[in-house]
Amino acid sequence: MAVFGGATTLGSVSFSSHLFDQQSCFLSCPLRLLPSSSSSSSPSHRNPLLCIVKSFSSSATADTDRNSDQSASSSVLSASNSLLRDTSNDAAGPSDWKTAKAYCKSGDTFEGEVEGFNGGGLLIRFHSLVGFLPYPQLSPSRSCKEPQKSIHEIAKTLVGSKLPVKVVQADEENRKLILSEKLALWPKYSQNVSVGDVFTGRVGSVEDYGAFIHLRFDDGLYHLTGLVHVSEVSWDYVQDVRDVLRDGDEVRVIVTNIDKEKSRITLSIKQLEDDPLLETLDKVILKDSSSGSPSLSSNNGDTIEPLPGLETILEELLKEDGIEAVKINRQGFEKRVVSQDLQLWLSNTPPSDGKFVLLARAGRQVQEIHLTTFLEQGGIKKALQHVLERVP
């Protein structure tokens, strides 16, 4: 069962929440602002919705901070450490190590000549030292340009050429000099990327927590890589990313966050599609093909049992200043399961007689809640934030 990023586990209940807004920025947990989107290439036409998510699951989410191939490279680095002790590094003077450490600290780029390669990466000359560049730290344009070639065939063609690289690690004691072409090119191309930009990308690798996507620029080459977390692959529940995406697949993605300090880009596939949960319950519940009518039921005196976890939230919401009444008005069932988690959305439809519409969803079941208040939408969001801080 999916648990959204940033969740903290309380016993068997995992909790996280997100605020969907047109402003594309992130706040710290428990609430985050995410960019809204539409089926068009621009997300500006998408109505912002407040989404509160409460996950009834004991599973843990993958840390989205792993949005970097450096984590994917760690096993390569470990496996290749025994290959780094080039005799020239043993004989190198301390001045060259001092220079390497200075490059590592400053983040400056230098041109290094490829002298050879091995099973894990390239061997690149740095003054009297020989540095190691793991294959995952090559620019994605190398493999995407000639996808039919193996990484070792590509490495062979690079011998004798010069690559722009950054020093990632300069360990004089263990004679290890680790380099990256990907990080060297980051400043040049990341300055042309903004939150909300839409790219055509190619799946570079698929992990349990998501997929790394190489982004194609106007020159037709793939210069940067971003991560699509498993929760951003589809509005449908995705148990295994490999069931949806495979290496080499071409996809359209939207940029949802850029971490310049860590050189990481966060992407989404599903934000380019309409969320099946939109404005009102009538839009959510698909019409039955046989009867032609939505599968809805109204609260005409009969009590509708709240979704698990919803009753506590509504009780606490009534304790907030400005909230006068809450009532589950209708419920229905969707054709598909979007998420097993409990999600509470604040609709962006104009209030009627001082009533806002909240939509709660878990599995296929959706409930429409009428919220009577004199608060504006911003005040309702703050009230919900207060409630979420109290709900265990």
Instruction: Show the tokens assigned to 153.
Output: 């065939």
| Long-range contacts of residues 183-189, Cβ cutoff 8 Å, at least 24 apart | 183/137, 183/263, 184/109, 185/139, 185/223, 185/224, 186/224, 186/263, 188/223, 189/217, 189/223, 189/224
Give the pLDDT confidence of 209-220 residue by residue, as tens digits: 999 999 999 998
Q: How confident is residue 338, by pLDDT bands cut at 50, 70 and 90?
A: low
Residues 263 and 334 in one domain: no
pLDDT of res. 237: 73
pLDDT of res. 245: 93
Assess if residue 315 is contained within a domain. yes
- Of 223, 248, 272, the one marking the end of a domain is 272
pLDDT of res. 287: 42
Give the rounded percent of residues in the chain with a pLDDT score beyond 90: 37
Residues 327 and 372 in one domain: yes
Residues 178 and 228 in one domain: no
Nearest to 37 by CA among 202, 195, 179: 195
pLDDT of res. 301: 47
Residues 157 and 121 in one domain: yes
- Note down the domain range covering 165: 95-185
Assess if residue 296 is contained within a domain. no
- Is the four-CA dihedral 349, 323, 22, 203 of positive or negative sign? negative
Task: Give the single-character DSSP code of 352.
Answer: B
Assess if residue 338 is contained within a domain. yes
pTM (predicted TM-score): 0.54
Whole-angstrom distance, CA of residue 340 vs CA of residue 361: 8
* Of 296 and 364, more confident: 364
Give the pLDDT confidence of 189-246 residue by residue, as tens digits: 999 899 999 999 999 999 999 999 999 999 989 999 999 999 899 877 788 899 899 9
Residues 127 and 168 in one domain: yes
The CATH number that applies at residue 222 is: 2.40.50.140
Residues 100 and 136 in one domain: yes
- Of 135, 166, 185, the one marking the end of a domain is 185
Residues 220 and 252 in one domain: yes
Assess if residue 81 is contained within a domain. no
Whole-angstrom distance, CA of residue 241 vs CA of residue 232: 10
* Of 255 and 26, more confident: 255
Assess if residue 24 is contained within a domain. no
The string of DSSP letters for 255-301 reads: EEEEETTTTEEEEESGGGS--SS-SSHHHHSPBPTTT-SB-EEE-SS
Count of structural domains within the chain: 3
Residues 201 and 181 in one domain: no
Residue position matching structure tokens 């047109």: 22
Nearest to 255 by CA among 247, 263, 265: 265
- Of 138, 154, 185, the one marking the end of a domain is 185
| Total count of residues recorded for the chain | 392
Residues 203 and 181 in one domain: no
Instruction: Show the tokens assigned to 182.
Output: 């990907």
* Of 24 and 386, more confident: 386
pLDDT of res. 124: 95
Residues 221 and 268 in one domain: yes
Instruction: Show the tokens assigned to 139.
Output: 């620019």
Residues 179 and 211 in one domain: no
Report the mean per-residue pLDDT for the chain. 73
Assess if residue 372 is contained within a domain. yes
Mean pLDDT of 172-186: 93
Angle separating helix axes 310-317 and 377-390, nearest 10 degrees: 120
Assess if residue 158 is contained within a domain. yes
Compute how many other C-beta atoms are within 10 angstroms of the C-beta atom of residue 93.
11
Residues 133 and 177 in one domain: yes
Assess if residue 90 is contained within a domain. no
